[in-house]
């Protein structure tokens, strides 16, 4: 029986949007995921995301009988990190893709920003609250996002998958965002500031892949992860969204890292 990779997606991007990267992993591993987190009212989005961690743990527990290899991008990496601390027996290893796991100084800055209502200035949360939500067709969705600088860097197949799998038909001829903007905004607003509290508590072997042009990870954060969590740190060309810019390269990097996570 082949081992299983469990993939956890970033904020605002359902796991199915990563189809091209995940398909490149399927030659060697079973690949599973939960398409959306944060949308089940049983697991509300609250400060530091504890219920989203519960949602992640519950899904893994109910779907897999053996420990999985957790691979998470941004939000997803955070959730798998916290899940592995709480339930290490569920994981054989972790590969975290550019999640903003910050050291003490930046984490305190996040806490202060939330305390004084300034967090939307530090994250894309302010934009998500005003995000357009309605198009006449999948092609219209693709054309709309394809003109935006961030999406212009994406692999064309990933952009097409976002237009198709990142939206749903509302039954009245409109395509709406599958990942609801209000949920996206709440997730950004409640970005965890308590990461340093868990220093030294990760027992699952882990690797971290940082984007060469990421704007969410600093060298001090990488040093903190290496020193206090024993994470292997590598880089992948691209921005914070490199799994959707270079999906096959990212899959190759993941496949290179997994054998070193054996325990």
Q: Which domains does the chain have, with CATH numbers?
A: 4-121+192-261 (3.40.50.1820)
220: nearest Cα among 93, 74, 109, 69: 109
Q: Where are the alpha helices (DSSP H) in 43-199?
A: 50-63, 75-86, 104-115, 119-122, 125-128, 138-146, 149-152, 156-165, 181-189
Q: What's the confidence (pLDDT) of residue 103?
A: 84
Please give the Cα distance from 142 to 132 (Å, whole number).
13
Model pTM score? 0.95
pLDDT tens string for the chain (263 positions)? 789 999 999 999 999 999 999 999 999 999 999 999 999 999 999 999 999 999 999 999 999 999 999 999 999 999 999 999 999 999 999 999 999 898 888 889 888 888 888 788 778 777 777 789 999 999 999 999 999 999 999 999 999 999 999 999 999 989 999 999 999 999 999 999 998 888 889 999 999 999 999 999 989 999 999 999 999 999 999 999 999 999 999 999 999 999 988 65
Give the Cα separation of 96 and 117 in Å (integer): 29
Output the pLDDT for position 262.
Answer: 62
Question: What pLDDT does residue 1 have?
Answer: 77
- Tell me what pLDDT residue 187 has: 96
C-alpha dist (Å) from residue 18 to 13, 14, 69, 110, 246 = 8, 8, 17, 28, 11
């Amino acid at each position: 029986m082949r081992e299983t990779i469990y993939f956890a997606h970033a904020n605002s991007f359902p796991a199915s949007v990563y189809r091209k990267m995940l398909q490149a992993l399927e030659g060697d591993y079973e690949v599973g995921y939960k398409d959306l987190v944060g949308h089940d009212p049983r697991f509300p989005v609250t400060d530091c995301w504890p219920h989203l961690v519960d949602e992640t743990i519950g899904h893994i527990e109910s779907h897999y009988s053996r420990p999985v290899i957790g691979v998470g991008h941004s939000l997803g990496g955070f959730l798998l990190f916290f899940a592995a601390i709480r339930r290490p027996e569920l994981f054989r290893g972790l590969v975290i893709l550019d999640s903003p796991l910050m050291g003490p100084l930046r984490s305190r800055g996040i806490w202060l920003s939330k305390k004084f209502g300034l967090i939307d200035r530090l994250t894309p949360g302010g934009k998500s609250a005003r995000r357009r939500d309605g198009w006449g067709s999948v092609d219209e969705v693709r054309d709309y996002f394809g003109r935006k600088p961030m999406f212009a860097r994406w692999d064309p197949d990933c952009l097409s998958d976002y237009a198709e799998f990142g939206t749903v038909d509302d039954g009245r001829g409109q395509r709406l965002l599958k990942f609801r903007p209000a949920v996206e905004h709440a997730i950004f607003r409640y970005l965890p500031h308590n990461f340093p509290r868990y220093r030294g508590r990760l027992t699952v072997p882990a690797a971290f892949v940082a984007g060469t042009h990421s704007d969410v990870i600093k060298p001090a954060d990488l040093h903190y992860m290496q020193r206090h969590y024993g994470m292997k740190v590598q880089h992948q060309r691209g921005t914070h969204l490199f799994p959707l810019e270079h999906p096959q390269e990212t899959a190759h990097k993941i496949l290179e890292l997994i054998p070193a996570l054996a325990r």
